[in-house]
A and B are shown apart, each in its own frame.
Chain A
Amino acid sequence: MRDARGQVRRMPGLRLWLSGSWLLILILAAVFAPMISPHDPLEQDLFAARLPPFWQQGADPAFLLGTDSLGRDLLSRMLYGARLALTVALVAGTLTCLVGATLGLIAGYYRGWADLVISRLVDIWMAFPPVLFAILLIAVLGTGLTSIIVAIVVIDWTRFSRVVRAEAMSQGAMDYVASAQVAGRSRLGIALAEILPNVLPTIVALLTLEMGIAVIVEAILSFVNLSISTDQPTWGGMIAEGRTSIYQAWWVLVFPLAALFLTVLSFSQLGEGLKDYFDPVLR
């Protein structure tokens, strides 16, 4: 029997390439920010305030993307802002995923009273308005990187546990689970070795989505000045500053906003792309 199935290879796809490249650029920018920034992100020069980006009249080639109303270099501030955005995305996203997915798997596969407790908790949690919840938490915990991360994990774990619970329940009803039981696999073994691998594509897609959401939450908190200390450049803080001078210097608002938009979009597209890539049925 001739068969060419082994030779069929699906390309990783354009969206995986595009989103992956943007995130790679961002990671490099964040890691090497002190080396590649043309200026100190905090250095003020009131004589060079509100300089436009390089292609406009009156631009100073030393400030590629222009300056804000205090004369600070936008490009340098964005590079440093990427550090916070990415740290929050990776750490908060991963922690949220671990907490939420674990609880979801327990609720969806073990059912019973564990499911009852976790599901009621999720219902109660989801009734809080998330942004207000975050602001409240930060107000209690105090500002700082750890507080942002804790706030995101505490608020957003429900997103994972709901989806993973539903997925684990539908996988748990499949016959391969019964078949593993017939083979003598323990409950924990079934949850980890049979169900988890089948829920993993969903978890990966959610994880990258959550990383994008973490970036947004961080920006919102910075926007309302509840992120880290105000002298550190953040995208949300830059957007807040740019808002006040939108008619005089649009670029102060638009560049960090574009970076934020592209980053969140790339995270969600990366998740979709990876989901397709890892799924043996679609591959």
Chain B
Amino acid sequence: MSDLIYRVKDLRVSFPDLSRKPLFGAAPRIDVLKGLSFDVAKGDVLGIVGGSGSGKSTLGRAMIRLLRPDSGSILFEGTEIAELNEDELRPLRKQFQMIFQDPMSSLNPRRRVGGIIAGPLRLQGFDNIPSRVDEALEMVGLAKRFSERYPHELSGGQRQRVGIARAIALKPDFILADEIVSGLDVSSQAQVLNLLEQLVRELGLTLAFVSHDLSVIRRLCTRIFVLQKGEIVENAPTAELFDNPKSAYTRALLDAIPLPDPDQVWS
């Protein structure tokens, strides 16, 4: 049991539906996650796939407690975190970090890269911050001089590397990567994915990779959750899921992957 990082039971999250809020009284709630239960083993690279509105980002955000679940239990390394408030969570925060989808929005435009990476280290009371910042930059393949730059002076791929550096600088046990390559062009995508693959190998990270792109997931992940309408319709190791998809929804997703067609001719 000690090799589990997450043990989640009957996780429920709902949001108020403000478009149907009556003039008086509370808005009706939309159930986004309808009672999910699963385990995540240490060292797993977990892929969370599903269509728009399937709840995959919500699941990720609930796991690192950016959201407060309505009910259910989230055991993180043996600690119940589902009901903790922000003050109680603060000391645990260094153990689960997140890389965001849009690096332009997730990097404070008024801070230099060095300050962005140092911020969480300072908040979590680390020492030797400058050397940790340099080390994190080096791990994501950025030169030291980048720490003097502002985010808008970087390319999309470089910005996403800064986002990764900020997360790994804390040496967390778990990282949530929410659609982190969907805003990048294809070559930057490949570079960022290579980097992530390498970091997973070197640091022994447990990673949850949220994406709608199964071909990206297939390359990176060891286990896949397929979400549909707030429920896990399939939970299987990657090879098994691709060879022998059990649910009809998974098959539909697999069929939607564009495969290169060697017969294509440009005329």
Contact = CB atoms under 8 A, between A and B. Distances in A.
Interface of A: 5, 174-176, 178-187, 189, 194, 197-198, 280-281
Nearest to A193: B119
Interface of B: 64, 66, 86-87, 89-91, 93-94, 96-98, 100-102, 105-110, 119-120, 123-124, 149-150, 152-153, 166, 170
A179 B66 CA distance: 9
Contact of A179 (B86, B124, B152, B166): B166
Nearest to B166: A179
A24 B107 CA distance: 38
Nearest to B106: A175
A184 B153 contact: no
Contact of B152 (A174, A183, A197, A281): A281
| A175, A179, A181 pick with most chain B CB within 10 angstroms | A179
A37 to B, nearest CB: 45
A270 to B, nearest CB: 21
A97 to B, nearest CB: 19
B100 A178 contact: yes
Closest 10 CB pairs of A and B: A183-B120, A175-B106, A184-B93, A184-B90, A176-B108, A175-B105, A175-B100, A197-B110, A174-B105, A281-B152
A280 B120 contact: no
Given A280-B109, A281-B152, 6 more contacts: A174-B105, A182-B96, A184-B91, A185-B123, A189-B123, A197-B110
A181 B123 contact: no
Nearest to B119: A183
Nearest to A185: B123
B108 A281 contact: no
Contacts of A198: 108-110
Contact of B123 (A174, A175, A184, A197): A184
